[in-house]
Amino acid sequence: YMGESYYEISMISEGRKQVALVLGGAYSGKEVEIENVSHWDSTDITINIVEGGSEDKTPYIWIGVDEIKDPLKIQTTDGVIIE
């Protein structure tokens, strides 16, 4: 469980969607990178957490996608699921 981590989905231009992902305090001082986005049966987004952010900043990333097939699953390369 990551605590305080969450994502929100919003519409951007021409029907595209954006996933805003914010990681909780346990990840302060880290950066988020996109590892993979898959759209087979559902949309799966895999992120990689790396060193390099400011210690006092909450890591976040905006991910633009053409479509989201439910159920959307976001997880880290370590297998932690973000809900």
DSSP codes of every residue in 60-72: EEEEEES--PSSP
**pLDDT at 51 > cutoff 70:** yes
In which band, very low, low, confident or very high, does the pLDDT at 48 lie, cut at 50, 70 and 90?
Answer: very high
Q: What is the mean pLDDT of the chain?
A: 91
What is the reported pTM? 0.88
Q: Residue 3's pLDDT is what? A: 54
Contacts of 20 (CB under 8 A, 6+ apart): 7, 8, 9, 10, 60, 61, 62, 63
Q: If you ran DSSP here, which 8-state letter would residue 80 be given?
A: P
3-state SS class at 25: helix
Q: Which residues pair with 44 in a beta bridge?
A: 38, 73
